[in-house]
Amino acid sequence: MLDADGLAERFPLMSSEPFPMYNEEGDEVPQQLNPFSAVYEHGCGHLDSSTCLTDLYRACVRDGIDVRFNQRVAEVALAPGGGRVAGVTMDDGAALGGAVVVNAAGPWFNQLNKTAGVELSTKAVATRIQVGHSGTPMS
């Protein structure tokens, strides 16, 4: 169990300051948070995928990107000659053009990458990880 000082000692470049929370208008919302505490397990890591996807969605909306939910992408479409993305082909056959495709398929990202001929060494497995937070550090 780490407190803010323990985190600073073990990971001096990390901040224990909480991420600000914003309302729909973009104003920062005051938070009443308990003192920082964290569980550290050597060799492991966690990222909050929901927060990452929310951030990605907000960035796409901000930049005018066409975001679609509950639709399956069948494959990444390549420009003639390959090597460059031309968009995606949806499962229903609809074609959407675009010079950039953001693969947010989570642990299924390699399946979509393969349709564009992209092979990564990274392997992902769909896993549910429980993360809990206690208001007071455990002893």
- Whole-model pTM above 0.75? no
Split at pLDDT 50, 70, 90, the class of 135 is: low
Note the pLDDT of residue 102. 87
Residue 47 predicted with pLDDT over 70: no
Among the residue ranges 25-29, 37-41, 55-59, the one predicted with the least confidence is 37-41
Spatial CB neighbours of 87, under 8 Å, sequence gap ≥ 6? 76, 77, 95, 96, 97, 98, 101
Note the pLDDT of residue 87. 94
Residue 25 predicted with pLDDT over 90: no
